[in-house]
Structure 1
Amino acid sequence: MTLGYLLGGGVGAVPQGTELYDAFPGVQRTYDEVSGLTGVPVERMLAGELPDELRERRTIGMVREAALALAVHDQLAASGIRPGAIGGLSLGAMTASCLAGAVDRPAFLDVLLRSGAHEEPSGGPEEGLAIAAVPGPDGADELTVDGEVYRAGYFGRTADGAQGIYLLAGHLDALHRVAGERPAGQVTVLPGRAVAVHTPLRNHLRDALAPHVAGMAFTAPDVPLYSCFDEKRLTTAEDVRDVFLRNAVDPIDLTQVTRAMHAGGVELGVVVGGSIPEGLLSFPFPVVHVQRPEDVEKLLLTSYELGVELGTAP
């Protein structure tokens, strides 16, 4: 049986990782490494509110989320646990590519800094994000508004199968309008998320990053790596480059990742960090969330009980 890592996306608005940092010297070394490569102080990653200014908020939030994922991976590796497969979505797709050996950490973190520092076009409508919890397999389609609200992501069914969880992105006023037209609680506009990720509204960021990504040194993944844009395994350097090029604009789908990983032999998933809420979603295999020191021991025990192989990846 194979162990697979799952990495979520988003900007780390809620600080996490302090318990791991205090418990493990290896986690401290990873955070020091990330701080040295990005210039973001460790204390800004571990604690405190994100700044109001959009570019600084975006940069610190992404670095914060990536640092936690890298630190959890490194601590698990120090405990003898390595993934037999790995996949992620949004920021997690790029982090997964780094952990799979397809791009080195300085280059990966540099992309985050460039994305965060990108100058937004002036004068356009304010952007935002919303989470929709709707019944039916195509329930989010009726929530979109041409040119204003897009279906930016799908996270799968809730654990009880009653609802599908979607990410909507677009013009903020249109998102509020859609939320107001739906039953209470069905669409929730997220505060402080002023970027319509994974929609055509981010074409300017993709175009700005494209020349840099085209010149980056990618390699074939060392660990089986799965895409959130297509239900497939990524096997070449150009497959991984495509993920970095598409990430700003294309919609994401967590179920494509998990289905492909399951078909590839994954029987136990590790949700790395806190970006995928615990207990909310249905997965094709059992999952263990690792974001606290006690979770490392829980993973070891669960792996032993299920007969999952550890330490098999390079």
Structure 2
Amino acid sequence: MTLGYLLGGGVGAVPHGPELHDAFPSVRRVYGEVAELTGIPVDRMLIGDLPVELRERRTVGMVREAAMALAVHDRLVEAGVRPGAIGGLSLGAMTASCLAGAVGREAFLDVLMRSGAHEEPSDGPEEGLAIGTLPSPESAAELVVDGEVFLAGYFGRTADDAHGVHLLAGHLAALRRLADDRPAGQVTVLPGRAVAVHTPLRRHLRDALAPHIEGMAFAAPTVPLYSCFAEQRLTTAEDVRDVFLRNAVDPIDLTMVTRAMSADGVELGVVIGGSIPEGLLSFPFPVVHVRRPDDVEKLLLTAYELGVEPGAAP
């Protein structure tokens, strides 16, 4: 049985990892390395609320999520479990590329720091995010408001197959009007999310990062790697560079990752961190969520019982 890692995106508003940090020396080592490379103290990654100032909030939140994924990966490698495939969406797509050996950790974390520190335009409307929960895929187009609200992502169907879960992004005032106009529960504006990710409104960030990304050293993945921008496996260094270039403005789709993984033989998924809520979504294979030491032990037991192939870690 082949094991596939799934990494979610977003800014980690809720801290995860203190229990793992206390339980495993390898986890403490990774957090220490990330702190050294980014200048963000370990305690700030592990505990407490995010900073109020937008750029600092964004930076700490992204690094917090990335550090968790790197640490869990290394702990599982230490225990003899390696992914046979790996994929993610948004921040998770870039983290997956790092774990698949396509970009070094220092270079990956540097991109996050540059992205977080990017100066936002001061003259535009306030931005925001929302979740749209709709019964049919066709109805998602009804949520688009030209130039103001965009379909920024698709996470898939709920576990009971009753609804599709969509990410909406755009002008905050327009998102609030949309939530008021739609039936109750269809559109929920997310608090404290002041950046319209994966929309044309983020072109300024893409343009600012593009020269740096064009000059980065990427490599062909050494573990099968899957993209949230196309239902396919990434095989070249340029495939991975394209993920980094597109991430700011292009809509994301988790189902592209999971369908491609399933088609290539993944039979058990490992969801690392808390950005993909447990029990909410339907997947084409069973998944184990890893956020705490008990989850690590549960995964090791499940992998042993199912005869998971060890994969090939970089």
Matched residue type, 2:33: E
**What is the CA–CA distance in structure 2 between the aligned matches of 1:63 and 1:139, rounded to whole Å?**
35
Q: CA deviation at 1:308?
A: 1.9
**What is the CA–CA distance in structure 2 between the aligned matches of 1:38 and 1:248, rounded to whole Å?**
21
Q: CA deviation at 1:312?
A: 4.1
The 8 Å contact of residues 23 and 293 in structure 2, kept in 1 or not, is answered as yes
Mapped pair 1:258 → 2:250: no
* 1:182-201 to 2 correspondences below 5 Å: 182-201=182-201
Structure 2: runs of 5+ lacking an equivalent: none
* 1:52-131 to 2 correspondences below 5 Å: 52-131=52-131
Q: Deviations over 1:244-273 (max 9, x none)?
A: 000000000000000000011100000011
Q: CA deviation at 1:311?
A: 4.5
Bigger Cα displacement from structure 2, 295-304 vs 158-167: 295-304
SS of 1:82's equivalent in the other structure is: coil
1:152 is aligned to 152
1:132 is aligned to 132
1:230 is aligned to 230
**What is the CA–CA distance in structure 2 between the aligned matches of 1:107 and 1:55, rounded to whole Å?**
19
SS of 2:137's equivalent in the other structure is: coil
The 8 Å contact of residues 223 and 312 in structure 2, kept in 1 or not, is answered as no
Identity %: 81
- Scaled by the length of structure 2, the TM-score of the pair is 0.99
**What is the CA–CA distance in structure 1 between the aligned matches of 2:116 and 2:217, rounded to whole Å?**
21
Q: Which runs of 4+ in 1 moved over 6 A?
A: none
Q: CA deviation at 1:304?
A: 2.6
Structure 1: runs of 5+ lacking an equivalent: none
SS of 1:269's equivalent in the other structure is: strand
Bigger Cα displacement from structure 2, 182-191 vs 209-218: 182-191
Count of aligned positions = 314
Q: Deviations over 1:186-244 (max 9, x none)?
A: 11100110000000000000000000000000000000000000000000000000000
SS of 1:138's equivalent in the other structure is: helix
The 8 Å contact of residues 2 and 311 in structure 2, kept in 1 or not, is answered as no
1:28 is aligned to 28
The 8 Å contact of residues 80 and 311 in structure 1, kept in 2 or not, is answered as no
2:17 is aligned to 17
2:300 is aligned to 300
**What is the CA–CA distance in structure 2 between the aligned matches of 1:70 and 1:307, rounded to whole Å?**
24
* 1:261-276 to 2 correspondences below 5 Å: 261-276=261-276
Matched residue type, 1:7: L
Q: Deviations over 1:66-110 (max 9, x none)?
A: 000111101111111100000000000000000000000000000
Q: CA deviation at 1:141?
A: 1.1
Q: Deviations over 1:160-190 (max 9, x none)?
A: 0000000000000000000001111111100
Q: CA deviation at 1:132?
A: 1.0
SS of 2:243's equivalent in the other structure is: helix
**What is the CA–CA distance in structure 2 between the aligned matches of 1:312 and 1:30, rounded to whole Å?**
20
- Scaled by the length of structure 1, the TM-score of the pair is 0.99
1:283 is aligned to 283
Q: Deviations over 1:126-177 (max 9, x none)?
A: 0000011110122221011000000000000000000000000000000000
The 8 Å contact of residues 152 and 250 in structure 1, kept in 2 or not, is answered as yes
The 8 Å contact of residues 231 and 259 in structure 2, kept in 1 or not, is answered as yes
The 8 Å contact of residues 8 and 92 in structure 1, kept in 2 or not, is answered as yes
RMSD: 0.8
Bigger Cα displacement from structure 2, 199-208 vs 299-308: 299-308
